[in-house]
Amino acid sequence: MPIRTEPVTVNLGPQHPSTHGVFRLRVTFDGEVVLDVEPVFGYLHRGSEKLGEERTYTQVITLTDRLDYVSAMTNNQAYVIACEKLAGIVAPERAMYLRVIAAELQRLVSHLVATGFFLNDLGAFATPLMYCFRERESVMDLFEMLCGARITVSYMRVGGVFQDAPEEFWPALNTFTTDMPHYLDEYEQLLTSNEILLTRTKGVGILTTEKALNCSVTGPVLRSTGFPWDLRKVDPYEIYDRVQFDVPVGEQGDNYDRYKVRIMEMRQSIRIIDQCVQQIHPGPVKADVPALLRPPPGDAYGRIEGPKGELGFYLVSDGGIAPYRFKIRSPSFINLTVLRDLLIGWKLADMIVTFGSIDINMGEVDR
């Protein structure tokens, strides 16, 4: 005889460890089955966009570090590209190569963190996460060589980068790019064909290409549906048109595909870095930019393919030393649009895993 149940509404968060930040899910359950979901955020709001309108163009860089703090380098990159468009500044070639190397290292860090915590959400406590953090620390060491900081780097500048890479950076980078493919092989041997991982993720949380495009989803979440959209290919910036790389895609947009796409993208990032090292030449690393930049009145939108999707900065100048308007197009915020559709009909345990597969950072959601 079936057991008679009635819907129960439960708050998950904002302190729950599986919410990947200060985030609340208001979920209606029938037993363990999800009937409805309402994402609620705003607990972390720091007013970064308004703060950006009160600081000089250079001072704003430190704010970008703290948006998606797992991807500080790419945050810097998107912002300075927007500033350069606004002011008509072109960075030196060596600076662009250094930016791309730093950005691809940051993509590796972001995907390592995403993969480690995704497996943690699945119940693989500690081991895969610690493996991923082991490689992440190697990249943090490289960042420290570049700019003296490990997480909130503030490395990039309007017109270039803070400083050139020191001599010891290049052999350390070569060691990392030589070792990293073997570590990725190790991850895949441990995880990709793992029976538990396959059972929990294959066919779970399916996102269609049509739904993803209608919701403006980008990044690995979109590419997991089989749609090969990558701004580094379709709208190249910096020197991405000079390097060869593939755009990994999934098959059906489920939790497994989102995991697999990130693994494949890490391999492509190493490929890009190796080509940059071969192509980079000596030269200046910063254009001649005034200490107090005053772009002419106008507006500009700079965008990049961030680790989580399209990251864009829209700037409006009134000719002053600070942006008149400062608006961020953050992929974590946009990608949350599909969360409700992905969760309804699945169970509580699936909900936690699916949410983790989207890979959001509340720092750029509550900006």
Q: What is the pLDDT of residues 72-118, one digit of tens each?
A: 999 999 999 999 999 999 999 999 999 999 999 999 999 999 999 89
pLDDT at residue number 17:
60
Distance of CA 104 to the CA centre of its chain: 11
Q: Percent of the chain beyond pLDDT 70?
A: 98
Tokens representing residue 181 in the block? 């493919």
Is it the case that residue 364 has pLDDT exceeding 80? yes
Q: What are phi and psi of 135, to 5 degrees?
A: -70, -35
pLDDT for 105-137, tens place per residue?
A: 999 999 999 999 899 888 887 788 899 999 999
The 8-class DSSP code of residue 337 comes to: G
Answer for the pair 311, 285: CB distance below 8 angstroms, yes or no. Answer: no
- In the predicted structure, residue 317 carries a pLDDT above the cut 90: yes
Q: What is the DSSP string of 214-243?
A: HTT--THHHHTTT----HHHHS--TTGGGS
pTM, 2 dp: 0.94
Taking only the tens place, the pLDDT of each residue in 18-70 is: 566 788 899 999 989 999 999 998 888 888 999 999 999 999 999 999 999 89
Distance of CA 113 to the CA centre of its chain: 10
pLDDT tens readout for residues 141-186: 999 999 999 999 999 999 999 999 999 999 999 999 999 999 999 9
Which amino acid is present at 265? Answer: E
- Catalogue all structural domains in the chain, each as residue range(s) with its CATH number: 49-365 (1.10.645.10)
